[in-house]
Amino acid sequence: MKLIQGNFRILKAAPDGDSIRFYPNNPELWDERVQPNRTGGAQLRLDSIDSLETHFQAKGGLGTQHQPLELADGAANELLKFLGFKKITRNDREVVTAAEPEEVPGYILTSFADVYGRSVAFAFKGKSDVADGSEIFIDKSLIKKSANYHMLNKGLAYPTFYSKLYPDIRKELTIAAEKARKEKKGVWELDKTNEGFVLEDLKTITDDVVILPKLFRRLLGYLGINDGSAELDGFSKYLKSLGDRVIILPEGHVTGFHYVVKVEGQKIQLTVQPEDLIFLEK
């Protein structure tokens, strides 16, 4: 993976538990698919993790929504604390209006960008002794120093793996996630993803139940095109239409995300543990 040194900055941005803006010392090192701003900074998508949404813009007439805020905000605060930010003030739209310090040094390891122009990366605090722009091998000891691993270890993010992730790194991250679940840390104390829950209305997923963020976003999209109606009779068909493809581990079955989401009346549950799914990049 390519090592890029620089700084994390959060003023006038709305970082959450798995996404933050990074400003490289040398913007020329960005992958050509990354979409930097005029000063060279670009949004990161932290590889392999998905934290609860603090401000997700839903399609349709639902506007900006969130998942249970105590854990969603807790994840956002923990990421910033880990990277070295000490005092943060946000407005009612989650945008940072003041930060101390205003930027912190860090570096990332990345090999590609997603369809939204974000660099998919492992993020680290401080400075690296390795030369900027170097291609390095990421091993178990290094992955444990990343913000990504830290968030899984704290139970403040769900493991969400994509097919470009190296299998040995995925295994190490899975160990951290399973340990956090066993100890009921963070989201795992309240998680209903695999146990299932009954969807009564929008408030069920924004305030009441803690679930895998990808499932939350898909539900929100469905409610949006149905003018907020919570009736789930068409949800499976809607999921299938989105074309999300997954590999189910360990059997290696390639199928659609809809195949592992069980809907019975108003009850929904994921039939496979999140770490046993690998999503195929679009």
pLDDT in tens, 63-118: 899 999 999 999 999 999 999 999 899 998 888 999 999 999 999 999 999 999 99
What pLDDT score does 250 carry?
A: 83
What pLDDT score does 269 carry?
A: 98
Contact criterion met (CB below 8 Å) for 165 and 1: no
Match 């803690």 to its residue by tokens: 210
**Pairwise CA distance, residues 66 & 209, whole Å:** 11
Which helix (H) or strand (E) segment holds residue 5: the answer is strand 2-9
Set out the domains of the chain in order of their start, with CATH numbers: 2-185 (2.40.50.90), 188-279 (no CATH)
What is the torsional sign of CA 115, 235, 58, 213?
Answer: negative
From residue 263, alpha-carbon distances to 136, 196, 273 in Å are 44, 9, 16
User: What burial class does residue 77 get, using C-beta atoms within 10 Å of its C-beta: 0-12 exposed, 13-18 middle, 19+ buried?
Assistant: middle
Helix, strand, coil percentages for the chain (3-state, nearest 5): 30, 30, 40
**pLDDT surpassing 90 at residue 228:** no
What pLDDT score does 237 carry?
A: 97
For the chain, give the percent of residues with pLDDT over 90. 91
**Pairwise CA distance, residues 185 & 156, whole Å:** 8
Dump strand ranges (E) for 47-148: 49-50, 56-57, 64-65, 87-90, 96-100, 103-113, 119-125
Model pTM score: 0.96
pLDDT in tens, 82-95: 999 998 999 988 88
- For residue 178, give the amino acid letter: E
pLDDT in tens, 129-172: 999 999 999 999 999 999 999 999 999 999 999 999 999 999 99
| Residue 121 binned pLDDT confidence (cut-offs 50, 70, 90) | very high
